[in-house]
Amino acid sequence: MKADAALQRELPEVLRTPELTVGPVTPGSLDDQVLKFPAQKPPRAWYIGFAISASVMTLGLSLIGYTIFTGIGVWGNNSPVFWAFDIINFVFWVGIGHAGTLISAILFLFRKRWRNAIARFAEAMTIFAVMCAGIFPLIHVGRPWLAFWLFPYPNQRALWTNFRSPLLWDVFAVSTYFSVSAMFWFLGLVPDIASMRDRTKNKILKPIYTVLSLGWRGAASHWQHYEKAYLLLAGLATGLVLSVHSVVSFDFAVSLVPGWHMTIFPPYFVTGAIFAGFAMVVIVLVVVREVMDLKNLITDYHLEVMNKVILGMSCLMGYSYFMEGFTAWYSMNEYLHSSFMNLITGTYAWAGWLTISCNVLIPQILWFKKARTSYFWMLLVAMAVTVGMWFERFCIIVISLHKDYLPSSWHLYKPTLVDLGILLGSFGLFFTLVMLFARVLPVIATTEVKAILPGGQPTHQGGGHE
Amino acid sequence: MDETLKTRIKAHLDQEPPRHWRSLEERELTAEARAAGWHEFAPGASEPMEVPEEGLSRRRFLGLVGATAALAATAACSKVERGTIVPYTKRPVEVIPGVANYYASAFSEGSRVYSVLVKTREGRPIHLTGNDENPASLGKTSPRAMADILRLYDADRLRAPRMNDLPASWDSIATVMMKTLGAAKRNGRPVLLMTGAVPSPSRRAVIADFKEFLPTLEHVAWEPVEGLSQQAAVASYGAAVGISPKVDRAKVILSFGADILNGEDPLAIAGFAAGRRPSKPGEPMNRLWVFEGAMSLTGASADHRVPLKPSKLAAAAFALARDLNATHGVALPPGVDGAALPARPAEVPESLWKALLADLKAAGKTSLVLCGAQMPTEAHQAVHLLNEMLGTRGTTLDVTPAEKLASPADLMALTQGMASGKYDLVILWGVNPAYANVGGAAFAAALGKVPTSAWIGVLPDETAALCKIQISENHWLESWGDYDCGAGTVALQQPAVGTIYDTAQGEEVLLHWMKTLGSLLPADYHAYLKDRWQEKVYSAGTPVAFERYFEAALHDGYVQLPAAAPSALAFQGGAVKEAASRAAAAGGSGFELLLQPSATVYDGRYANNGWLQELPDPVTKVTWCNPVSVSVADAQKLGVTDGDHVKVSLGSASVEVPVVRQPGQAEGVLVLALGYGRTVGSVASGVGVNAYPFLDASGASSAVRSSAQVTRTLVSAALPITQGHHKMEGRDIVRTLTLAEYAQEAGKAEKKEELITLYPEQQFPDHKWGMAIDLSACVGCSGCVVACQSENNVPVVGPEQVTKGREMHWIRIDRYYEGDPANPKVAHQPMLCQQCDDAPCENVCPVNATNHSPDGLNQMVYNRCVGTRYCANNCPYKVRRFNFLEFTAFEKQPETLVHNPEVTVRPRGVMEKCTFCVQRINDARVRAKGEKRPLRDGEIVPACAAACPAEAIVFGDLKDPKSRVSELSRSDRGYKVLAELGIRPAITYLAGLKNPAEGGTHEG
């Protein structure tokens, strides 16, 4: 029996008996297991966690208020490092979001059924990460109260935006990304909310669920429309996975700053984003499956597959770093060359090596199956990747900027406590939103998991159609 | 077709097409009915809202009234505070709102006179330039002179007289003074009047008159950092002398620690630069040799530079005299024995020495030897000797009798006199001896013992705080006066603004007191000055009446009188022997400490000036403090680096200062700037440390001290420095060629591949503004930086912000070292917005806040800027400045009065940068349009170019092939910085040139 199970796991997914859950799971038990959370009082741990993350969030928001009131001079930004934590955090959070879209959209199109159990959570994380990201471009400008000028809206002064500026592309890319992700996420939620509507006895929640479920009755026509819409949005979101971070990378690649001006940036950024996003998903899912006791739905297999993705991305990151160095050498461009040398030998070389270690070296442990299935190793790798990817953006932004063309204007950068506080606050905001989400909405798409339960799909063995 | 048919067809075609009629009137085809047929609505209902030439319909009238009322109401709803604007009921003569007026005036810094042109707007002085008509200024002035306009509006100014720490009326002070002066006169008690140097003939006359009424008056003229060399002058010439170099006439210039190019003397820079810009190879160039202990701007521009301890300079100079005599046959002056002179110091390489000797011999009269004011007495004597030998007096050098200034030793004696109760009354006018003096503390204590002390000055200082009577003095821009510029030129000073506060000028105060002693002189200094001019300056034979003569002088700012006959001061060779033996023995153990006035705040008198505090030291690039400069080798030995604090002690004096490592500084030498560590003044106090206690009150070389000790402390802090990296990293940023290399390179125009651009070519229909900067002429004096700050309302950000790298200067002087840190080559490069044709800043701004003008300016629209700072990231020159914090809005009057109303004051969150002084461009353009003529080349002069004493910056229209800037841009020395980026900057730099002597190795 044991050997059988092991054999099962070794088989490619398509050849496997569709058993992406552990133990007996029926549609009814699944609903009971997942949909009970919004209906019951959360455990003590939730309150403690929420209190901590909300406090950190409040700290961050207060510091943002202070910044807006005083000016961004309270940060460490200077000349020539005009961008620092503000844009690092922005790129970092946008990147975190990418895993969610990849899991929910691209893996959907590739018919990867293991995504079904984790897509909801990953997508929620996308939305929260983009919300965290969205704060930074807004508050980093010198006059945030005029940031709406970045939108091309008709005005009596006949002023128009500059469509040549990558920052403007960013505005469109990120806002599109946020709205499509939110739509996609909400669409997936509709059948689940309908289930909750049907289950709840709470007089306040019922009308809310009723409105949010958009009159879902589970009719065949509903399902037909739903599946079409879901497929279309998945197609739309797939493009966005590639485009958003490519556009973000244009902020750098289109400029002429040595260390930014490189053609490798769009794929390099997309890879990095997926990499960082998966790491964050792993961290959160490990906590969720333990705390919410969902180990039978989010199985070891799920984690292992995600760790494989992380490993693959890590290798791609290594290639990207190598290419950066190769380009610097092969181009014979002295500015690019010295920019790369700064990365590995300059004042901030520790950040460069930290990035390379965290993103390329440490994840190599995932070649071992033991590591891929061990909480210790996978969490270590995931945290290392999160740190490493933050520092990668630090390297790209700060190291490139602090020494550019004229040595006379070179200047070191040193963040202030406000910078660190706002970074921390963004994590506070993210985890506050994650915890609120886990509290009020189903963290697993029950309808999608039902589709992959044994017998959930017409099979040849079952003789459903024959 | 016959004619009839044609006519019929035509008639048919001309006929109105048949149409259905809508009313009977229309059918009847009256004009009115036809017109009505075209309008759907009743007449007047759909009229456009424009005022017809005559008459208004009732309807339109009501419409306009309604709209006016609505708009007026809307406009009135704005909550923005509006100040009261009152039109002139009686317009002052010459003042047209919006049009600048210029007045010629003058002022002095110690005994150095600056003849200036004051730009005023609506009665407020806002900008200073040199007086271009006065041959003693030639339109140029010093950075400090330009910045001194800020003192006029300094919030710290003493705004009314005070007595015993309470506000007092002029009358009550006059009463006290009458009593005190009267008693002193009756009892024959000495009264001390201490002033700065008095280069003003009329002020001298006032003091002389004062002395006449009060025979017991002792007048002491004292300058904290001048006059240190007078002892040497007395030894060499038997009297205090002023040495004015004519650098433009010199072919070979040899400096022993003389920093002639530091900006203080614009004519020296102009003269030097004039000899260093050959337009083609083969044209002659002057040659500058520098022996110095510190690294100075002069050393930076030198063709050969030898780092040498200041104590060794005298020996080197004497040895030069000896070898000139011995090997080149230059006669020694009578009384000088060549054998008594020391031999060449070992620090100077022999090949260089030989080349220098040959150079000096060949140049003869057209050479020029100078000695720094702070250098030891013997060095001055040796330089006097060299000049005598070479016969430079009269050609490249004028030696004229000068005012005797009190030495530190004199001041010590004075302090003792005060302490012993010698004086009943001490009047201190514009001096700060309680601070800027080695015995400052003793002076302060002694001053406390004087029964009555009166202080006359503009900004309360350490001395004012100790005086019983404090008299608020006019700023020089509120005052009358005259100054002796030398060579028969007398500059006239006139007020450019009425007194802002309850102040009076010093001369007037003295005249007033004299009146109480019974003088009949006018108490009004203007009248006094005019009377004196009529009597002494105006000669009876002049064809115009005095009034017109005086007005013409006021207009021009100067008069040219016949120059005095060259002085017959004879060189006294007798003192040489003793000086030479002292020179040979000079130098002691430990570090040698050189104390020199700060390049920016000078002797401390400008310490309350934010512009000057933030102006980077032209050599170290440090702002807002006076670190001790240590040679690179010594720093290594001491184990210190930039920003580490050390304790410098010498005798009883010691200070804790940060270190700055100075390439090129002689080993074993420490350099510390005077003028910092003030304790009074909202800007000045607490900035840097006071180095005056290190001066030697007794010795002959009071500013060069031996046996200084340096110990490390554990403190270390980042320096407020504007340039932290000093190497060019092998990049093609500043090009420097020797004359020989230039001859080789010229004509081989570099053909760099132009990168293709995605965007259409920029079109410049009328003008394309551009600039050419001659790096061979630029000495790095930083006058352009101050001029720009004044012209463009550039804010002062303070030391913390400079440390963070957020200084706001629109133009900066980049300074690079290349080669051996013991004696590097130095390159300067003024860096400002390059106004690129394909500006990388423009295409990245998401809101189009920076864009291109049709005349080639990369313009910045402040009120459109939201502050993404992307433009600054993408600027390869890093010349864009961001308002990280609110740097200006919290300024209040009087500080805001210095702002140029033509230039927007930028709020926080906004990017700013050099505009090529677009306000000046437009001003010239409007003027040309008004006069119906095209713009002339050279008509538009940006503030930096106007201020540049070296004329290194030339601005003009690149579309005009004959303009000066076009010609220079085509120069074979021309190149563009970072041209390889394909951004097409509009500024052409002309490679710097060095003229090393043949045989001498190229040392710097």
| The last residue of a domain, from among B340, B360, B394 | B394
User: CB–CB of B669/B596 below 8 Å?
Assistant: no
- Cβ-based contacts of B883 with chain A (< 8 Å): 71, 142
Checking B177-180 for CB contacts under 8 A at 24+ apart, the result is B177/B454, B177/B469, B177/B513, B177/B516, B178/B513, B178/B516, B178/B517, B180/B424, B180/B425, B180/B451, B180/B452
For residue B653, give the 3-state DSSP assignment.
Answer: strand
Q: Per the CB < 8 Å rule, is A161 touching B848?
A: yes
Question: Which residue from A76, A162, A405 is facing B847, i.e. has the nearest CB?
Answer: A162
Chain A residues with CB-CB distance to B727 below 8 A: 407
Chain A: give the shortest CA distance to residue B22, in Å: 42
Separation between Cα atoms, residue A116 and residue A104, nearest integer Å? 8
Q: How far apart are CA A98 and CA A101, in angstroms?
A: 5
Give every CB contact of residue B600 below 8 A, 6+ residues apart in sequence. B143, B144, B606, B612, B613, B615, B617
Confirm or reject contact between A139 and chain B (CB < 8 A): no
Contact residues on chain A for B804, CB-CB shorter than 8 A: 76, 78
| Binary contact (B878, A80; C-beta < 8 A) | yes
**Cβ contacts of B978 on chain A, cutoff 8 Å:** 405-406
Under a CB-based contact definition with an 8 Å cutoff, are residues A442 and A198 in contact? no
- Say if A165 is an interface residue toward chain B (CB within 8 Å): yes
Does residue B120 lie in a domain region?
A: no
Residues B796, B889 share a domain:
yes
C-alpha distance from B981 to closest chain A C-alpha (Å)? 8
Are residues A162 and B878, on separate chains, in Cβ contact within 8 Å? no
**Which chain A residue has the Cα nearest residue B722?**
A409
B455 membership: H or E segment, kind and range:
strand B452-457
| Window 339-398 of A, Cβ < 8 Å to B | none
**Cα B207–chain centre separation:** 30
Q: Which of B207, B261, B523, B232 is nearest to B399 (CA)?
A: B232
Q: Are residues B423 and B515 in the same domain?
A: yes
Candidates B753, B844, B852, B883, partner chain A, best to mutate (most A CBs within 10 A): B844
Contact A165 B884 (CB under 8 A): no
Q: Is B959 exposed, middle or buried (0-12, 13-18, 19+ CB in 10 A)?
A: middle
- As a whole number of angstroms, the distance between CA B858 and CA B867 comes to 17
Contact predicate A152/A160, CB 8 Å: yes
Same domain (yes/no): B778, B920:
yes
Same domain membership, residue B249 and residue B217: no
Among residues A410, A420, A408, the alpha carbon closest in space to that of A348 is found at A410
Give the residue from B572, B580, B625 showing the smallest Cα distance to B600. B625
In a domain, B246, yes or no: yes
C-alpha span between B845 and B930 (Å, rounded)? 36
Q: For residues B48 and B60, give the distance between their C-alpha atoms in angstroms, rounded to a whole number.
A: 9
Chain B residues near residue A404 by CB distance under 8 angstroms: 876, 878
Residue type, B490: V
Rounded CA gap, B727 and A220, in Å? 74
B314 with B431, same domain: the answer is no
| Range of the structural domain that residue B456 is part of | 162-226+405-475+503-548
- Determine the residue type at A203: K
Cβ contacts of residue B441 below 8 Å, gap of 6+? none
A462 has a pLDDT exceeding 50: no
| Best mutation target, B755, B847, B912, to test chain A (most A CBs within 10 A) | B847
Judged by CB atoms closer than 8 Å, whether chains meet at B874 and A257 is answered as: yes
Please report, for the domain that includes residue B707, its CATH number: 2.40.40.20
A41 touches B: beta carbon within 8 Å: no
Residues whose CB is less than 8 angstroms from the CB of residue B487 and which lie 6 or more positions away in sequence, other chains included: B135, B136, B398, B563
Which residues of chain B neighbour A76 with C-beta distances below 8 Å? Answer: 804
Has residue B72 been placed in a domain?
Answer: yes
For residues A466 and B247, the model is more confident at B247
| Structural domain includes residue B142 | no
What contacts B14, CB < 8 A, 6 or more positions away? none
Which candidate, A144, A90, A186, A147, places its Cα nearest to that of A426?
A: A90
Nearest-by-Cβ selection for A255 from B731, B814, B873: B873
Question: Would you call A259 an interface residue with chain B, using a CB distance cutoff of 8 Å?
Answer: no
pLDDT given for residue A466 in this prediction: 38
Contact at CB, A406 and B727, closer than 8 angstroms? no
- Does A72 sit within 8 Å of B870, measured CB to CB? no
Which two three-digit tokens encode residue B157? 């100014």
- A405 to chain B nearest CA, in Å? 6
Contact: A150, B866; criterion CB under 8 Å: yes
Would you call B24 exposed, middle or buried from its count of C-beta atoms within 10 A (0-12, 13-18, 19+)?
Answer: exposed
Same domain? B221 vs B242: no
Asked if A166 has any chain B CB less than 8 Å from its own CB, the reply is yes
In angstroms, the separation between the Cα of residue A66 and the nearest Cα of chain B is 12
pLDDT at A123 over 80: yes
What is the structure's pLDDT at B78?
64
Q: For residue B232, what are its two tokens?
A: 């040497």
A110-119, A314-323, B490-499: least confidently modelled range: A110-119
Q: Determine contact: A78 vs chain B, CB below 8 A.
A: yes
Can you tell me the distance from the alpha carbon of B268 to that of B245, in angstroms, rounded to the nearest whole number?
7
Domain assignment of residue B519, yes or no:
yes
Contact across the interface for B883 and A167, Cβ inside 8 Å? no
Neighbour-count burial for A309-323, b at 16+ CB within 10 Å, e otherwise: bbbbbbbbbbbbbeb
Q: Which residues contact B239 (CB under 8 A, 6 or more apart)?
A: B233, B401, B569
Residues B779 and B895 in one domain: yes
Identify the band that residue A459 occupies on the pLDDT scale cut at 50, 70 and 90: low
Mutate: best of B641, B870, B873, partner A, most A CBs <10 A: B873
What ipTM was estimated for this complex?
Answer: 0.91
Q: Number of CB pairs < 8 Å for A and B?
A: 164
Tokens of A284: 């959160």
Is residue B571 situated within a structural domain? no
With beta carbons under 8 A apart, name residues in chain B contacting A70.
885
Which residue, B76, B104, B119, sits at the end of a domain?
B76
Q: Does A54 touch chain B (CB under 8 A)?
A: no
Query: Is the same domain home to B810 and B948?
Result: yes
Question: Cβ of A218 under 8 Å from any chain B Cβ?
Answer: no
B783 burial type by CB count under 10 A (0-12 exposed, 13-18 middle, 19+ buried): buried
Residue B49 inside a domain? The answer is yes
Spatial distance between the Cα atoms of B307 and B349, rounded to a whole number of angstroms: 11
Same domain, B47 and B193: no
Q: Determine whether B966 is exposed, middle or buried from the number of CB atoms within 10 Å of its CB (0-12, 13-18, 19+).
A: buried
In a domain, B126, yes or no: no
pLDDT band at A7 (very low <50, low <70, confident <90, very high): low
Same domain? B461 vs B608 = no
- Count of structural domains within chain B: 5
A residues 404..423 contacting B (CB < 8 A): 404-412
Q: What is the pLDDT of residues A269-303, one digit of tens each?
A: 999 999 999 999 999 989 888 888 888 888 888 88
Structural domains in chain A, sorted by start: 34-452 (1.20.1630.10)
Last residue of a domain, one of B41, B76, B111: B76
Using left for φ > 0, alpha for ψ between -120 and 50, and beta otherwise, residue B604 falls in left
Coil, helix or strand for B649? strand
Residue A131 has pLDDT above 90, yes or no: yes
Tokens encoding B304: 């050969």
Distance CA B826, CA B992 (A): 11
Question: Could you tell me if B947 and B884 lie in one domain?
Answer: yes
pLDDT of residue B39: 55
Asked if B877 lies within 8 A of A338 by C-beta distance, the reply is no
Q: What is the DSSP string of A301-370?
A: HHHHHHHHHHHHHHHHHHHHHHHHHHHHHHT--HHHHHHHHHHHHSTTHHHHHHHHIIIIIGGGGGGSHH
Q: Find which of A70, A167, A408 to mutate to test the B interface (most B CBs within 10 Å of its CB).
A: A408
Interface test with A, best of B731, B804, B808, B910 (most A CBs within 10 A): B804
A79 near B CB under 8 A: yes
Provide, as residue numbers in chain B, all residues whose Cβ is less than 8 Å from the Cβ of A77.
869, 884
Nearest CB partner across the interface for A147, out of B804, B845, B866? B866
Question: Which own/partner pairs from B938-943 qualify as long-range (CB within 8 Å, at least 24 positions apart)?
Answer: B938/B963, B938/B964, B940/B769, B942/B771, B942/B791, B942/B916, B942/B917, B943/B127, B943/B784, B943/B787, B943/B788, B943/B790, B943/B791, B943/B792, B943/B917
A71, A141, A149 ranked by CB distance to B886: nearest = A71
Q: Are A161 and A154 in contact (CB under 8 A)?
A: no
pLDDT profile of chain B (1004 residues), mean per 10: 65 61 62 56 55 71 89 74 72 82 92 93 92 88 94 93 92 91 90 93 93 91 84 83 89 93 92 89 89 94 92 91 90 85 88 91 92 89 91 88 86 91 92 90 91 93 92 94 89 92 93 87 90 87 87 91 78 84 81 93 93 94 94 93 93 92 93 93 92 82 86 92 90 90 73 71 90 94 95 93 94 94 93 93 93 92 93 95 88 86 92 95 94 93 94 94 93 90 92 83 45
Q: Quote the pLDDT of residue A103.
A: 86
**Are both B622 and B643 inside the same structural domain?**
yes
CATH code (residue B178): 3.40.50.740
Of residues B829, B873, B885, nearest to A71 (C-beta):
B885
CATH number of the domain bearing residue B941? 3.30.70.20
Selected residue of B621, B785, B869, B906 to mutate for chain A interface (largest A Cβ count, 10 A) = B869
